[in-house]
Structure 1
Amino acid sequence: MSAAAATTSSPDLSGRDLTLDLARIACVVLVIVIHLLQVGIGRAPDGSLVTSRPAEAQPWFDAATWAGQVMPLFFVVGGFASAAGWESWRGRGGDATGFVRTRTLRLAQPAWPLFVFFAVVLGAAVLVGAPSDVVSAAAVGAGSPLWFLAAYLLCQALVPPLFTLHTRAPRATVIALFAGVVLVDVVRFSTGIAEVGLLNLLLVWPLAQQLGFWYRDGWFARRSPLTLVVIAVACYAMLWPLTAWGPYSTSMLDNLNPPTLPLVLLGLAQACILCLLRPALERLMRVRWVRGFSFVLGTRLMTVYLWHLPVILVISGITLLVPGAAPEPASPAWWWTRPLMFVVVLGGVLALSLLVARWEALGVLGPAPSRAVVAVAWLCAFVPPFVVMQWFLSPASALLGAVLLGIAVLLLRHRLFARQRVAQSVGSQA
């Protein structure tokens, strides 16, 4: 039995770029900030409850998403990490089945308690007769980040074959994926069938991941700063005709699900900008408190991402109970309280992570299940966030997620489903 298949508790950090860890943390922090500006829950001057999405009502919002939509960069950075992880895994004798197993667990384990929480809370709200419109609005908001799980699960499952294609034909692979993105968008917008755009889940995010492979190979580092600036400017320049005359929204948030061509251009531009900022980020990572903050937040990053919106909603609800603590959304007082809310929310999520962090750590794993079991488990992990992405979070989808994600974790962890008996595994390691 190989070491790669036996444990995941000691990851190989060779080839790790700590500036990318900082970039990934910055992406999640920015997502929290954006959601804080989108969730408006407060009191009107007459004391009535007011809910709105203040940021989206601002005239500058669409333009801000051209800089604030950082999910393409997250997948680029994830591609770098995935390439390093896959090469390290293979170097320790691991195979594609074991790799997909561990990557699926890294997403399914932290997501399972969240879906259980949603199932309990939303189910209780229905049982006590809470207003359906309020429950629905809260559920839709709290579940909005879960699309990421479906997209990232797809990307992680595709790492072994796409990395192989990258090593054999890197340019042809990128060109084929890019052509596929364009073709899907053409069919989608020419036919008016929005569901066709779902095919781009298999193309847009894997293409951004592929850019991460190129980043790790040093392609971006070998370009001159002027070249990187020209590429980034060209990508943003192409967004203007695509959104002004083409079928795409000027809001990069609207281009997110299903994903579209503008996100590919954003990903390439952001990869160039990240490379330009790398010297500054390296200097920043030499600062002790920055490294400490990055370690604390980085080791809990999935928990922070998954739970930040429920925490925002809970804290916003608590402020309604405190006189004067919940100003009217979009009022000057509301905007001025956002920095304080950010600190409170981040502290609340980190405190919560102490309770649920054990679900983010894989620990020591036994022998991997068969390919068929891993495939079934992956599907069980993929379906819940995909359902939420398409039909939003509800008591039914939360319960479905709690059940299927629990099955996924059981299939991937329990020795009953291992390819080899534990006794044989122990003997092979002696």
Structure 2
Amino acid sequence: MKREAFPVVGTTAAQRDPAIDLVRFTCLLLVVVAHCMMVSPVLHKDGTVETRNVLMEQTWFTPVLWVLMIVPLFFVLGGVTGLQSWRRLKAAGGTGFDFAQLRLLRLVRPAMALLAVMWGGLWIALLLGVHPQVIQLMTTGAAMPLWFLAAYLTAQLSIPLMARFHERAPLLTFVSLLIAVSTIDSLRGTIPVLAYTNMIFVWCAVQELGFMKADGFFEDRSRTWLVGAVVSSNLVLGLITGVGVYAGNMVVNINPPNLCLVLLGISQTATLQLLAPGLRWLGEVRWIRAVIAVAGRRSMTVYLWHLPVLVGMSGMLLLTDVPKPLPESAEWWWARIPVFLAVVALLVPVVLLFGRLEDRPMAASHARGPARTAVVTAAVVVFVPVTDAALNGLTLALLGGGAACFALSVLLLGRVPTPVLSPAEAVPAEVPGVTLPAHDLRANLES
């Protein structure tokens, strides 16, 4: 029996907070800049390649990471926009499966293109005689975006369920997740593989902070309370890392994630609320709005592709006579500026070619049921390769298998009617268009 796509009508779009868009864009920019300062492959005379992470080797970078580890902030922002999106869809008669379908399509389609292009390009390079170690180095360039995609998608798919708990008892929900995170952390020494279940509990806890922000919990707190939350969360973080319970390096704490990331999430959410008036003012500046409206509307494409582009460019430079300064030298640090500009330049054609895959899916007139089975199967098909990559590392074969799984997931979801937004709710030219969105600035709004 054919299941009709339903229109989203009669709902009121949440006013877009320009501070959210500005922070999301800034976080993405910081990620690209940081990776440009990390990747430094070195080609030895015997043809082997050594990859150095120069930034991580700096002693001063560990404390700086407490400020620059903005991954929790991504999940807070995702909680804010995700909860608003779910409520609009639910008010229009949508279900959790409809929400999951939209999230899967909008996150999996850009990733499918990345994996397919990388797999095909690297196989051609291998056949042309490029050293397998260089191929593996470039393959690894897709691993980091994949683990983040898996974690973010897990949190986003949980929104309908977690929103139900949140609406009943938000503080109890957060505390329960915090207890689950701490319990798993305490058992990670005995059962190491159990630590990976915190990919669910940690990011759902941080996402819950976004739910609370969306409902005005942090807005209703005094500045003293917010400053206290920032100070106390960092004091606890300093205590548990200082006594050696957790590593002081936040990159070490991120995969699998642990309690440190939740504490960072509390500090970052409170800081975001403290800075909100100034950020909102900056976000309303015309030229900043214009930049965010263009760049922010293809953020997933930029995030997925920037590291493979950087690694690919670095690998190609190894085969040329272009002067290569020694890592950690003054020349190497200054060279990060042209490297960053080159990555941005290379991302422009990538965004033009693949950015439309971020557009909101249109209703499929040919769709047939059963919808729930298709959505569940598609989710399983997506998580099989990304889980394998997270646990065992990414290989060229797994890259091809992941591309095939993602393509199968898109095909399965394409057989399900997609919910359609009314013109008033539609996201204009979703993500980077030439035209600017309406005044409420819905750049990259996950509707």
Q: Same fold (TM over 0.5)?
A: yes
Aligned to 2:237: 239
For 1:312-331, what aligned pairs fall within 5 Å after superposition? 312-320=310-318, 323-331=321-329
Q: CA deviation at 1:296?
A: 0.9
Shift of 1:377: 0.6
The 5 Å alignment of 1:115-126 reads 115-126=115-126
CA distance in 2, matches of 1:203, 1:215: 19
Report matched runs for 1:261-280 at 5 Å: 261-280=259-278
The 8 Å contact of residues 381 and 405 in structure 1, kept in 2 or not, is answered as yes
Q: Tell me if the contact between 1:16 and 1:84 (Cα under 8 Å) persists in the aligned partners.
A: no
1:142 and 2:123 aligned: no
Counterpart residue identity of residue 14, structure 1: A
- Specify the alignment match of 2:372 in structure 1: 371
In 2, the alpha carbon distance for the partners of 1:274 and 1:383 equals 35
Structure 1 residue 65: deviation in Å? Answer: 1.4
Shift of 1:137: 2.5
| Aligned: 1:74 with 2:74 | yes
Q: Partner residue of 2:35?
A: 35
Q: State the partner residue of 1:345.
A: 343
* SS, match of residue 16 in structure 1: coil
Q: Which residues of 2 match residues 201-350 of structure 1 at below 5 A? A: 201-320=199-318, 323-350=321-348
Distance 2:30 2:4 in 1: 34
Higher helix share: 1
| Sequence identity (%) | 36
Following the alignment from structure 2 to structure 1, what is the Cα–Cα distance between the partners of residues 278 and 344? Answer: 25
Q: How many residues align?
A: 412
Residue equivalent to 1:381: 382
Cα offset, 1:131, TM superposition: 2.6
Report the residue type matching 2:206 in the other structure.
Answer: A
What is the CA RMSD across the aligned residues, in angstroms? 2.6
Asked if the contact 1:32/1:308 (under 8 Å) is kept, the reply is yes
In the other structure, the counterpart of 2:16 is 16
Q: Match for residue 390 of structure 1?
A: 391
Which shifted more, 319-328 or 271-280?
319-328
State how far apart, in whole Å, the 2-side matches of 1:60 and 1:131 are: 35
Question: 1:185 corresponds to which residue?
Answer: 185
* Contact 1:6–1:365 (Cα < 8 Å) also in 2: no
1:357-404 per-position Cα deviation (integer Å, ceiling 9, x unaligned) = 121113412368521110001111222222222222211110111111
Return the letter of the residue paired with 1:266: L
* Other-structure match for 2:402: 401
Moved more, 257-266 or 245-254: 245-254
Aligned AA for 2:198?
A: N
Structure 1: distance between partners of 2:4 and 2:275? 34
What displacement does 1:343 show?
2.1
Q: 1:227 to 1:51 in 2, by over 3 A?
A: same
Report the Cα distance in structure 1 between the residues aligned to 2:235 and 2:206, rounded to whole angstroms: 19
Deviations 1:271-308 (A, max 9, x none): 01111111111111121111011011111000000000
Alpha-carbon distance in 1 for matches of 2:57, 2:15: 44
What is the CA distance between 1:322 and its match in structure 2?
Answer: 5.6
Contact 2:98–2:418 (CA under 8 A) maintained in structure 1: no
Deviation at 1:61, TM superposition (A): 2.0
Q: Which whole-Å CA distance do the structure 1 matches of 2:21 and 2:304 have between them?
A: 18
1:169 matched residue in structure 2 = 169
Corresponding residue SS for 2:218: coil
In the alignment, the residues of structure 2 paired with residue 329 and residue 351 of structure 1 have an alpha-carbon distance, to the nearest angstrom, of 29
**AA at the equivalent of 2:262:** V
Does residue 152 (structure 1) correspond to residue 122 (structure 2)? The answer is no
1:409 maps to a residue whose letter is V
> Could you tell me whether the CA contact under 8 Å between 1:239 and 1:265 is conserved in 2?
yes
- Aligned residues of 2:27 and 2:70 also touching (Cα < 8 A): yes
Deviation at 1:406, TM superposition (A): 0.3
Structure 1's 324 and 134: CA in aligned 2 closer, same or farther, altered over 3 A?
closer
Between the aligned partners of 2:355 and 2:412, the Cα distance in structure 1 is 21
Match of 1:424 in 2: none
Structure-2-length-normalised TM-score: 0.86
Give the structure 2 partner of residue 426 of structure 1.
none
Q: After superposition, give the CA deviation of every residue in 1:51-85 in whole Å (9 maximum; x if it has no partner).
A: 41111111112212111111001000000000100
Partner residue in 1 for 2:436? none
- Aligned match of 1:425: none
Could you give the per-residue CA deviations for residues 184-230 of structure 1, whole angstroms, max 9, x where no partner exists?
000113x1x32110111120001111110000111111111221111
Q: Does 1:356 align with 2:350?
A: no
Indicate how the Cα distance of structure 1 residues 247 and 140 shifts in structure 2: closer, same or farther if over 3 A, else same.
farther
Q: 1:34 and 1:4, CA in 2 relative to 1: closer, same or farther beyond 3 A? A: farther
Query: For residue 143 of structure 1, what is the amino acid of its counterpart?
Result: A
**Distance in 1 (alpha carbons) for counterparts of 2:213 and 2:298:** 25
CA distance in structure 1 between the aligned counterparts of 2:148 and 2:208, rounded to whole angstroms: 17
